[in-house]
Amino acid sequence: MVPFGLVLAAGLCVFGVTGYFRLSSDTATLRRSAMGSVGGTWDTKIAVHLGAMTLALVRTGSRLFPLPAEPRAALETVRAAEVGIYRLASESICAGPKSLLAATDKAMAGRGWQRVVGVCQEQDVVGVYVPGKRIGLRRMKVCVMVLHERDLVVASVSGNLEPLQALVGERLDLRSFTGVGASDWPIRAEAPVLRR
Amino acid sequence: MKRTMVAAAFGIAIVVLAAAGASLRAETPPGQVDFGTLSTAGSNSGFVEVNVPASLIGLAARFFDKQEPDVAKLLDGLQLVHVSVVSLNGQNRAELERRAEQFRHELETKGWERVVKVLKDEQDIGIYLKTQGKETVQGLALVVFAGKEQAVFANVVGDIRPEQLALLGERLQIEPLKKLGKITHNAEQ
């Protein structure tokens, strides 16, 4: 008779290890809707998920070594990250890249996400999604989908942006801005170059 | 019986108030423009859409509040930044020109004021402001045809002025807004 504790520990170990190869539900939804829209059969090239515990270990370990400020801030910022890369094995039955974005928009909206960036160029599509609510400096999550020819990449990153904010605050150089500022171009409400 | 009736009336009142609150929240701000789904115009045209909601703008503002309080204040006054860039081709040019004309007409009939009109080097730029009184800007809309290659439709909801567009584009890393700000600036000069 195998002790219950041993079975539980083994089960948790298996769950923990397979967790490295399982995407979170939001990213999986993005992947499913994209694949469903494009159609055909897909081969998984890689699917990796680094969760909060793993990245906490990496952060703790990295503190033992001297690191430049930028990679240190990046490590401190990222709390979970995952990526899945898939390749279309058969012919696509997709109506077009725009219908792909429409499908992923609908699926993600159902989970409370909204698209902030959408790019469509020939057969390449990019969609960037953020949660509609509950985001802040300490809690930020982004999901990205990229379809390039026959390759589909879905990824998500969640993190605490405060370390990054501190770095930006230290490094921000006001003189680097060369655009047109408010002081450069005083508004003239009724002074068009040419009016009809 | 009477107690049941009172409870039911109270429940109905709560539901009605909640529905009214939800409809008020869902109301479109006066400075917001619905450009529709521009990306569907022309089956083979490329497009870029950027849609930055208030939550993300607020987040960006937090990055600047200590070093650049003016930028943070500008960002805090915004509720939405939407930019659509559509590549023009033989299939969609006429449709987009028709829609642009429709938007211009709608904006002017809905109390938007055209503050900049540029027709130069095949560029057709129109910038519109929605204001409340003399001081408060509720929104800014742009309809731009940049040569024969691209059409740009943009809407910034909140207190912003045309001369701040490039700054906003720079800080939110929205390239079309940066370019538009510079183009309008150069044309003005």
Any chain B CB within 8 A of the CB of A101? Answer: yes
Distances in whole angstroms, Cα of residue A97 to Cα of each of A110, A184, B110 = 20, 41, 34
For residue B40, what pLDDT band results from cuts at 50, 70 and 90? low
Taking the CA atoms of residue A6, residue A8, residue A10 and residue A15 in that order, the dihedral angle to the nearest 10 degrees is: -170
Which range, of A10-14, A135-139, B177-181, averages the lowest pLDDT? B177-181
Q: Do B118 and A130 touch (CB under 8 A)?
A: no
CA dist., res. A176 & res. B35, Å (int): 34
Q: What SS3 state is found at B114?
A: strand
Alpha-carbon distance of A179 to B183, in angstroms, equals 11
Residue B46: which region, alpha, beta or left (left: phi > 0; alpha: psi -120 to 50)?
beta
* Full DSSP string of B35-99: ---GGGSSTT--EEEEEEEHHHHHHHHHHHTTT-HHHHHHHHTEEEEEEEEEE--TTTHHHHHHH
B109 has pLDDT over 60: yes
Work out the minimum CA distance from B182 to partner chain A, whole angstroms: 6
- Please indicate whether, in this complex, the C-beta atoms of B59 and A119 are within 8 angstroms of each other: no
Query: Which range, of A156-160, A162-166, A172-176, averages the lowest pLDDT?
Result: A172-176
CA distance A4 to chain B (A): 48
Nearest to A179 among B39, B161, B166 (CB): B166
H or E segment and range at residue A119 = strand A113-121
Tokens of B149: 């290659």
Judged against a pLDDT cut of 80, whether residue B51 lies above it is answered with: yes
Instruction: Give residue A185's pLDDT.
Output: 29
How far the first Cα of chain B sits from its last, in Å, is 77
Instruction: Return phi, psi of residue B137, to 5°.
Output: -95, 125
**Average pLDDT value over all residues in chain B:** 79
Question: Distance between CA atoms of B144 and B128, rounded to whole angstroms?
Answer: 11
- Which 3 state secondary structure label does DSSP give B10? helix
Is pLDDT of A162 > 50?
yes
- The one-letter amino acid code at A179 reads G
B128 forms bridges with which residues in the sheet? B114, B141
Between CA B125 and CA A4 the distance in angstroms is 73
Question: Is the pLDDT at B174 greater than 50, yes or no?
Answer: yes
* CA A153 centroid distance within chain: 10
CB-based contact B181 A122, cutoff 8 Å: no
Region B58-84 average pLDDT? 87
Interatomic CA distance for residues A180 and A11, integer angstroms: 60
According to DSSP, residue A94 is labeled -
CA distances from B166 to A30, A64, A86, A187, B183 (A): 33, 43, 38, 13, 9
Q: For A51-57, what is the mean pLDDT?
A: 91
Structure token pair of residue A196: 């009809």
B33 vs A41: CA distance, rounded Å: 40
Integer Cα distance of A174 and A193 in angstroms:
31
Phi, psi (rounded to 5 degrees) for B27: -65, 135
Contact, A113 vs A91, CB < 8 A? no
In Å, how far are A105, A114, B100 from A128, measured between CA atoms?
10, 8, 27
Q: How confident is the model at residue A92 (pLDDT cuts 50, 70, 90)?
A: low
Q: pLDDT > 90: what percent of chain A?
A: 45
CA A7 – CA A62 distance, rounded (Å) = 34
Answer yes or no: do A177 and B117 touch at CB < 8 A.
no
Q: Looking at residues B89-113, what average pLDDT do you find?
A: 88
Please count the CA atoms within 13 angstroms of the CA of A173 that sit on its side-chain side.
4
- Cβ–Cβ gap B51/A117 under 8 Å: yes
Nearest to A195 among B43, B48, B117 (CB): B117
Looking at mean pLDDT, say which of A15-19, A65-69, A172-176, B6-10 comes out highest: A65-69
